[in-house]
């Protein structure tokens, strides 16, 4: 099976896109403000107001979640591991974030169930589409998933862009293959999508055609997730916090999960006081981002390496710092965050 090394990676927008400027202002409680790290010296903002209405949001530090496993590197081969001597003393916020992350993320069993079903689908359709590849994309592969996340797929064909009518025909053919085993619907949207449900697991899937942007973005976000073990818990908790405050819904014209993920990565590149947590991987590790999708390693693991210059802030401190950065430091009228370049564009 040709899956770009295996079955593959994320959402249907370009990672080269800048994060959106329309972001609500966040006001922290005094207690949270005291716990947060100081403002980054990389950029001091003289204009602190958001271009939209000043919606006051409270930090969810007191929210309690069910217990999960303790935070460790089990199942993660992340580049940066934090030793006991380096890490800050755990706080209730650290514990809350890590428990939530481990109690909601997909289990290895669920992950392998997804891959197994994708393999079965690929074996059914491969004889009819020469040199095709079926890629697992989105949060299921990036590491930012939760147990309830739906599954996104991209079927890559060898003939480049597929006209709308042709895409409908291709997906209709695949639909016929799946009729006997699954409940499926062909959605004739601007970008046609085949939506189907695996009745055995009651898990929903969305398949699109030639969505190379989704494949590349998923690969990029997975690389960032694997680079440092704090990235996954922070992204997942920020998205949970945003949903709690009703500001994480693209259909309601608030901020999408993809944009929140880019905001976290930008903060870890540019907003953290002292040394950054993340570099701009497309610059420092450009060899990983191949032009040919088939050459992308969708299951890349960064080997643990000592990095004395890396920030040692805990995940709780980073969460407080993230809120504080986008409330009091990021200049919405002037700055455009570039994850690709790891810098501000003006």
CB 136 within 8 A of CB 267: no
Q: Over the stretch 152-187, which tens digit does the pLDDT of each residue have?
A: 999 888 655 666 667 677 777 777 767 655 655 655
Specify the length of the chain in residues. 346
Partners of residue 337 on adjacent β-strands: 344
Partners of residue 204 on adjacent β-strands: 197
Q: Over the stretch 180-231, which tens digit does the pLDDT of each residue have?
A: 556 556 555 556 788 888 888 888 899 888 889 999 999 999 999 999 999 9
The encoded tokens of residue 193 equal 């999508």
- Rounded-to-integer distance, Cα 171 and Cα 209, Å: 8
Collapsed DSSP state (helix, strand, coil) of residue 39: coil
Query: Please, which residues have CB within 8 angstroms of residue 117's CB and are 6 or more apart in sequence?
Result: 198, 201, 205
The values of phi and psi at residue 135, to 5°, are -115, 130
Domains and CATH numbers, the chain: 30-104+227-345 (1.10.1410), 108-214 (3.30.460.10)
First to last CA, the chain: 44
- Rounded-to-integer distance, Cα 174 and Cα 193, Å: 11
CB 232 within 8 A of CB 73: no
Q: How confident is the model at residue 29 (pLDDT cuts 50, 70, 90)?
A: very low
């Amino acid at each position: 099976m040709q899956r770009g090394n295996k079955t593959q990676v994320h959402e249907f927008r370009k990672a080269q896109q800048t994060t959106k400027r329309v972001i609500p202002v966040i006001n922290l409680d005094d207690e949270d403000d005291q716990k947060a790290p100081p403002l980054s010296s990389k950029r001091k903002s003289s204009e602190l107001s958001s271009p939209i209405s000043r919606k006051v949001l409270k930090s969810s530090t007191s929210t309690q979640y069910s217990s999960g496993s303790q935070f460790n590197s089990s199942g993660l081969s992340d580049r940066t591991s934090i030793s006991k001597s380096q890490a800050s003393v755990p706080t209730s916020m650290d514990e809350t974030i890590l428990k939530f992350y481990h109690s909601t993320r997909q289990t290895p069993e669920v992950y392998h169930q997804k891959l197994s079903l994708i393999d079965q689908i690929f074996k059914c359709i491969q004889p009819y589409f020469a040199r095709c590849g079926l890629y697992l994309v989105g949060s299921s592969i990036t590491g930012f998933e939760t147990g309830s996340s739906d599954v996104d797929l991209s079927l890559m064909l060898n003939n480049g862009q597929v006209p709308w009518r042709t895409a409908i025909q291709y997906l209709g053919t695949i639909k016929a293959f799946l009729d006997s085993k699954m409940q499926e619907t062909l959605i004739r949207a601007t970008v046609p999508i085949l939506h189907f449900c695996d009745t055995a697991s009651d898990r929903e899937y969305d398949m699109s055609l030639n969505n190379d942007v989704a494949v590349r973005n998923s690969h990029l976000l997975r690389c960032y997730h694997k680079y440092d073990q704090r990235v996954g818990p922070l992204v997942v908790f920020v998205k949970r916090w945003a949903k709690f405050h009703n500001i994480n819904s693209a259909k309601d014209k608030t901020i999408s999960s993809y944009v929140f993920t880019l905001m976290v990565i930008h903060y870890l590149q540019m907003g953290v006081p002292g040394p950054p947590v993340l570099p701009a991987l497309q610059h420092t590790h450009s060899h990983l981002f191949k032009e040919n999708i088939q050459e992308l390693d969708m299951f890349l693991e960064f080997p643990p390496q000592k990095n004395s210059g890396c920030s040692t802030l805990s995940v709780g401190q980073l969460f407080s710092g993230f809120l504080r950065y986008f409330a009091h430091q990021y200049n919405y009228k002037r700055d455009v965050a570039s994850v690709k370049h790891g810098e501000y564009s003006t």
